[in-house]
Structure 1
Amino acid sequence: MISSGRLFGAFTAALKTQGLCKTICFKAVCCSCCALGLWMRRQGQGCDADLHLVYSCGHVFLTCCEEVEAQSQLPLRGQENLRPTVLPRRGTYQSQCGDFKPFPSLGCCYLWIHCCEPDVDECLTHKCLPHQRCVNTEGSFTCRPQITCPPGYHLKSSGCQDVDECAMRKDRCGKDFLCENTPGSFKCTPKQKCLSGFTQDAHGNCVDINECSSLAQPCSSSFACVNTVGSFSCQQKVLVCNRGYHTSPDGASCVDVDECQMGSHACGVGQICHNLPGSYRCDCQTGYQFDALRKVCTDVNECWSYPGRLCAQTCENTVGSYLCTCTAGFILASDQKNCEDINECDQKPCSQECVNMHGSYQCYCRQGYYLHEDGRTCEDIDECSQSIGKLCAFQCVNVVGSYLCACPPHGYVMSANGHTCTDVDECKVGSHNCSSEKTCFNLQGGFRCLSFDFTFAHTHRINCAPNSFDCQKSPLRITYYTLSFQSNILTPAQIFRMGPSPVYAGDHVIISITSGNEENYFSTRKLNSFTGAVYIQRKVREPKDFLIEVEMKLLRRGTVTSFLARLYVFFTPSSM
């Protein structure tokens, strides 16, 4: 930051040549910084003086100074005299900083004479709490709470204020809709009004409303709804009920006929009538069933009629009933239906672990042992050599009665489950060796140090000469992306999409790979008029790094603009 004496030195020299003042200090301008910008431009001094001003004053100074330049390029018929929007009154005033005196050349500006000492910004050295922010005041400072505004709001000195999206962009909703600002957002209201029975679609067209589906109950239950253009009608339903049903009193539905209650059934003496939907059933007493051919009740073989549901194991039929029995290894329980198991493990038939089973038992071995062919003896297992599946993600080490899993010496640590290996994020823990000029990117089992240049393309386009066609064709923006995949993934596989945002009607894009695809692993496809994608078309069988450049040319309203995406694509081992 330039000192206050040097800051306004240039202004002082210029003003003295005009005989306008004798003394100027930092905070010397009591009129708006805009007025200084207007005066400097009219004097032919240029707009570079904003570099010597603090940000707030320099921004206003530069805006007014350059605005004069822009206005001077308009036709003479449309030019108007540029004056500050607010002019201070002429005269002499008193303040803590001295006297105000007129600045005739500007017509509005006054100077502070005999200034006091400049205010010290305590926020440069004072530290507020982590959840506070420091605000400098005249002669002091204050710590205020940090304020984070939700989406749709921006931070002002008085707090979070709503963003007027409609004022920022008047064509946000399209020509057929009106934009209406709401707290934190906005909504689009159609301009055209539709007649009753019609509504507007997304394009503002009036389309018919299907009242039969949109209304909860447009017609009564005995009428059917028929949609018409702009309205609907109700038509009487005609019901034909099947046998065993009759029409309800309102004629809207078919209801069941209760033959048992009406006495229209044909059940015999001693039989019980049970109503069914559309019919009925004649039942006999418990343990018997009705023979419809002979019209008599016969014994029910419960063991056949309800297999597996009456007895836990074996069922034996009797006249009007049944009996339950048990197979070998079980005894009948007190309820005469379930069977209780005999616990053979009480006799200790196994060398290690015995588990009782229904009617038998099973010998098991502890972890690290296997059951011998005799079904009772346990022997040690070499899990690493005999296991069919892969016990460890990287390396298996056999130990007596068990095994251990090991990970590679670098880039991995053992997971809590003791079987899989977890990648070490060297970028997060700080164990990488990337310089401060490079960015660390974590990979499975390692990391990469990447360089990103975000300002080259923007600066390059700004500095283009007006007649430099090659420079104008250079990318407007260069964006970096990092992608990581395991080797041997199925191909073709889409890995990246590219398109403009926002999208306008008539947009067309062309996606191509300009460098980094010498081995022809990648290809591009156009998904639609405004979106393209990058694919892996060849299988990458081993770990490999790529840096490919993908160019998108956007044709919009007769103008072609180029954008460049630089993709760091890393393939790591498929296992681990």
Structure 2
Amino acid sequence: MKVFFMIIFTSQLFTSQGQDCQSGEEVLNALKQVQKLLSAHETSFLQSLRSLRKKLSLLQNSTVKHNKSTPDKSSVSDCPPPEPLANGRILGTVFKFGHEVHFLCSSGFQLMGPETRVCLDSQNWSGAQPSCKFVDTTVNNDASASISASSSSRSHPPASVSTHVRASRCIEFLDSTHCTCDQGYSISSHNSTLCTDIDECDLFRRTRPGRLCLHTCVNTAGSFHCECPAGYSLGRDSRSCYDIDECARATHDCSSEQVCVNTFGGHRCVDVDCPRIRNATYIKTSPLRCDRNPCIQGDNACFQAPVFINFHFMSVVSNMSTPTVLFRLSAARILGDTLRFSLLGTQGVQHFSVQRSGRLTGQLVLENSLQGPTTVEVDIEMSEMERRVLLGRYVTKLTLFVSPYNF
């Protein structure tokens, strides 16, 4: 760009001098000055070019040395997923060069092998695949203690440190030490080289109950697990509890004459017997129903007795929200002009009410919540009327088994 500018300047100089008819000596001096200026610019350009080439050469050499000492991570393939850990779990989902995975065993199992493996540039994991060995805490406690002590000694903490304390990972960076812990542990407030177990159960117990586990939370070294009461199974989410239906699974101990009623956390074996009512006799027509035998003509006491008695059993959780409809009764057909629904006696009056929900339908409503474990019985009567004259009574005897839990 500079050379191009000088050429234009020289052309203008010749034109100007030609017009003014200057002497040849002046023209010659001007050309010498232009030549000196061009020479100075050329020298500066060559020096700059040599300096640039030198810097590029130094940069290229340093890059080659760095590539020889450090492999190109982008050219290194991922490691294959580590083998599943039986009776334990693997922490870490990135299997690229330089990344780590951590191994944790379930409660009652001891980790045998390295706690951490690193993905190498050879596309293999460092160390050997660990395993989880069952530890019987009721027998051979001395052996378990020695295993714990030897494991702790390899991690540098004192021999008395339990599995709830382990060594931290520390690195030196810019004249300072930075320590980190595995998942489930935090840096000790007394010693930054130690990691202490985080009690997740206690931590969330102070916030919202049941946030981690629906029933019981058990803290373990570096983790936790949930447990359910007897008669329940742990859900797939590892925190919910689901009732085991012993009646459906045929794991109950009821006789053939008894009725198996599944309850929350267990079951009941119920004997269904027809009641004894004065001036009336009943016969069992199904496992849950008793029908009145025909009455003698003119026996009004017999006609006042229920035409049939149904038995119904329900299992409910403790402290249900109210009001809640628990049960509905309905008549297939009606001979009279009116149906009435009511509770018999005073039993259950403080907890229930009966409401009409349709022309031929009534419903039992829970008005006040029930605290378990308990058993509550209530009798519901459906009366058929014709011009206010009783045509027949029908009774349903409902038994509620209330769970001690709210699930």
Higher relative contact order (CA 8 A, sep 6+): 2
TM-score, normalised with respect to structure 1: 0.33
Which is richer in helix? Answer: 2
TM-score, normalised with respect to structure 2: 0.45
